[in-house]
Structures are given as C-alpha cells and as structure tokens.
A = this chain, B = another copy of it.
Amino acid sequence: MAKLVECVPNFSEGRRPEVVAQILDTIKGVEGVRVLDASTDASHNRAVVTFLGEPGPVKNAAFLAAARAAELINMEEHQGAHPRIGATDVIPFIPIGESTMEECVELARELGREIGYKLGIPVYLYEAASTRPERKNLSAVRKGEYEGLKTAITRPERQPDFGPPHLHPTAGATAVGARPPLVAYNINLGTADVAIAKAIAKSIRGSSGGYPSIKALGVMLEDRQVAQVTINVCNYKEVSLHRVFETVKTEAARYGVNVIGSEIVGLLPMEALLDAADFYLRLEGFSLNQVLEKRLLDQ
C-alpha cells in the first residue's frame, strides 16, 4: 500500500450542493488523489469529504480545497448545528498502510503553514499534530466557535500556530491535525431503557474513566425503540472493536440486557475488522499479508 494518507476535511457548507461540488472538483482535479466518499448534512450545514493518496498530492489537494472554500463560503452568513470555526473547519490527516503518524504530523504542519501564510487563514494544530497539550482536543480549539474566536484569538492562549492573529474575514480559521483512523461504531441493546445505554456509555468512555480513546453516549433509536451506545473508536489499535463490543456485552448483562447488534457507520480500514476475526477465531500467527486484497494494494 506504500505510503498512503487519508484526509477527511470538513467544510462549513451542507445546503448548497453546487458549492460542495466545486470543492469536490478541486480535490478530484489533483492527480494521484482518490475521493472515496463525500457526504453533506443540511442541519449541520456541513460537508465531509474523504480522500486518499500519497502525502504530496493529498497535501496539495487539501490546500487547494481550503483556498476554494475560502472563496465560496462566507462564515458571516453560516449557521448550522455543528460546532465550527471556519469555511474549511478541520483537516485531519490519517496514516493508512505503511505511512506513520509522524509523517502525518509533519504533513499537517506543512499544510498549516501554507494555509496560514499563503491564504491568510489562522491555523490551529490539533491532536497528534498539536504543539500545546491543551490543543490536542479539537473541542478546545473550537471553543466559542467562529463567533467567539473573533475576539478570543487575540488572547495569548488562543494564538494560532500559523497565519495572522485575526480571523480571515470570510473563511474564519482552520484546525489542521493528524490522528488515527476513527471508527464510528454503535451497539444496540435489547431494551428501550436509554438509562442503561447511558450508564454503559459512561463506563467505557475515557472522559469518565473508561478507555481513553473511546468516546460514547447513550441514545434512543425512537423508531426501533432500541437504546443504543453510540461510540467513536478513536484508535482501534489501542482499543479494538471486539474489546468495546465485549465490554458493552458484559456491562449490559449486569442489567439482564442483551446486545442485539452493532453497526459501523461509514468507512473503516480492513484491519479494524480483521482484528475482531483474529480475536474470535483465536488465530495463531495471522498476518495482514495473508489477505489477497492487501497483496494487491501493495503492488
């Protein structure tokens, strides 16, 4: 698979398809970049694009997309349910295949510098690329959102890593980072009691003493009358899907409740599921190189 990097920029536009299309075309126009997915959410007023390629083309496509978004999106007119600080709100780089987190950090910093000084958009580095521990968490970087950051940016602790010490007049600011692949994973319980889902979510998530790389909430699927633990598995190499599944199963049993199913939302690397197969089949000496599709991609 050589050195592949995934990039999942989020743009603050989910209501004007023609604007999203122009940004997508900009990304697709870069040779060596493959767009795997693009989705928009009108209530969030936000678009999420997933693309992949070698580091150079991926960085180039992210830069051109940020430049295009700065022309097409005016944050002064933006409203939406999702927290955001800019037209290109966030750009994470994700190591895939043989590329490393260190390389993605380097890439994030190079791109941050370019967006900051060439486009005049202040850039905050986050997650593995962050330069201050308090900026590791994206929600801290986005605190106050676009509107609040207008004045907050002048405070020393909110100074951007790159670019001017004030928001871009239309594009706001951008968070650029590096992180492991995130798997959106939900586990459905055989109960309509959302309190049980909430209690289980609390027991597994990092913020209340559970697995540090797990985020979780208890929610109700009203149409099915099913309580769900909705989870972000932020580092499947640290905490795998099967460990999350088995922990939830065990916690649910304490209430006499069964796990009736689980679901993966969106894309995930094959390894995240192969790890589960490896665990349950008690495989000895299994290697990813035994997977035909991996061999194909390596060539």
Contacts and interface: CB of A to CB of B under 8 A. Distances in A.
A21 interface: no
Contact of A292 (B270, B277, B280, B281): B270
A274 B282 contact: no
Contact of A274 (B1, B36, B273, B281): B273
Interface stretch (A127-135, A146-154, A260-268): A260-268
Given A270-B292, A291-B268, A263 B285 contact: yes
Interface in A280-299: 280-286, 290-297, 299
A20 interface: no
A31 B124 CA distance: 47
A263 B283 contact: yes
Interface residues of A, number: 44
A88 B291 CA distance: 26
Chain copies in complex: 2
A151 B265 CA distance: 62
Nearest to A186: B284
B293 A297 contact: yes
A68 interface: no
Given A181-B292, A245-B280, 18 more contacts: A1-B293, A36-B292, A36-B295, A96-B292, A242-B280, A261-B282, A262-B282, A262-B284, A263-B284, A263-B285, A263-B286, A264-B283, A264-B290, A266-B290, A267-B290, A269-B293, A270-B291, A273-B277
20 contacts: A36-B292, A37-B295, A96-B292, A181-B292, A242-B280, A245-B281, A259-B282, A260-B282, A261-B283, A261-B284, A262-B281, A264-B283, A264-B286, A267-B290, A269-B291, A273-B273, A273-B274, A273-B291, A276-B277, A293-B293
Q: Which 10 residue pairs are nearest across A and B when measured between Cβ atoms?
A: A276-B277, A273-B277, A280-B280, A261-B284, A261-B282, A277-B277, A36-B295, A270-B293, A263-B284, A270-B291
